[in-house]
Amino acid sequence: MASSLSHNAYRLMDASLERVEASRRAREARDPVMCIYLGGLAVECLLQAIVHLDTQKHDAGHNLARWLGRCRASFQDAVKAKELRASWNHLCAVWRNEYRYYSKSALSGQLRKMGRTRGIRGEQESQLNEAAKRFLESVVHVHNKGLAAWANYTKK
């Protein structure tokens, strides 16, 4: 019973809003691991909320692209449009649910392996903070589009 509580569209949307704010606070606190993890989780909650307006199936795991694939076609088109494509691709390429277990050093290594610190000057701390800033910008870009879609889908 407890797990079904999280599969309510309105609860998921509330969680999404809270996770975006938590991601921002983590960024301000210079905690790039939590900034990136919570930002990705915010988008995952947003996508799940939109999906759960239409179905209670919860079968896409922690895969942002699969959750988007379950969303309404109009939202999929909006996210894949030129305006959001780079932000969406950034989120999908970088975010992993496993980051909640990562240290800064582990995240740094992962981002370096992905090529996501290339061109960012400075030591590990500076690179991580800049990578987190860029990730959060992508989160906010996609999240804002999701909020607009949510408002449209839920207006009475």
Least confident of 22-26, 71-75, 134-138: 71-75
pLDDT on residue 4:
57
What are the chain's domains?
2-154 (1.20.120.330)
Whether residue 135 contacts residue 94, with contact meaning beta carbons closer than 8 Å, is answered with yes
pLDDT on residue 1:
35
DSSP assignment letter at 70: H
- pTM exceeds cut of 0.85: yes
Whether residue 65 contacts residue 128, with contact meaning beta carbons closer than 8 Å, is answered with no
List, for residues 81-116, the tens digit of each pLDDT value.
999 999 999 999 999 999 999 999 999 999 999 999
At residue 131's C-alpha, the angle toward residues 126 and 136, to 5°, is 125
Whether residue 67 contacts residue 47, with contact meaning beta carbons closer than 8 Å, is answered with yes
Whether residue 45 contacts residue 12, with contact meaning beta carbons closer than 8 Å, is answered with yes
Q: Is the pLDDT of residue 27 over 70?
A: yes
Whether residue 127 contacts residue 117, with contact meaning beta carbons closer than 8 Å, is answered with yes
List, for residues 43-71, the tens digit of each pLDDT value.
999 999 999 998 767 676 789 999 999 99
